[in-house]
Amino acid sequence: MPDSGVLETEDRFFEALRRGDHDAVAQVLSDDFVIVDIRAGAAVPREGFLGAISGGDLSFEKIEPSERSVRRYGEVAVVVGRTAMRGSFSGEAFEAASRYTHVLTRIENEWQLVSAQGTQIIE
């Protein structure tokens, strides 16, 4: 499957987030990674995101991806998917459904996540 490496990287990312494993999350993020957070729309750079994980400010009990589609453009892949999430941020519990866009690129023969954007789905 031509997109298996992309989805495997996504699966490693989500599993590392569920475990709160700073090092495993860091392995799949590019050095210039940016995430636009689902709640406030803030652009958070790699170190801020990793700091929230290692400091315990951001934790996940559940992240269930679904409805994922991959579009490839050479060494770049765009994934659009959906997640059901439960966790806590700064001690406040949250539960959310989201539609997300991830951009990955192949760096030194490995897929890395360079950008992530989540939009909460209000049902």
Rounded Cα gap, residues 36 and 4, in angstroms? 25
**CA distances in angstroms from 47 to 3, 35, 96, listed in the order given:** 28, 11, 24
pTM here is: 0.91
Amino acid 123: pLDDT? 73
Q: What is the mean pLDDT of residues 43-50?
A: 96
- Evaluate if residue 7 carries a pLDDT over 90: yes
47-63 pLDDT per residue, tens: 999 999 999 899 999 99
Return the structure tokens found at 102: 């991830």
Contacts of 19 (CB under 8 A, 6+ apart): none
Class of domain 4-120: alpha beta
How many other C-beta atoms lie within 10 A of the C-beta of residue 76?
A: 13
Mean model confidence pLDDT for the chain: 93
2 vs 9, more confident: 9
Bridge partners of 97, per DSSP, are 84
Ranges of each domain in the chain: 4-120
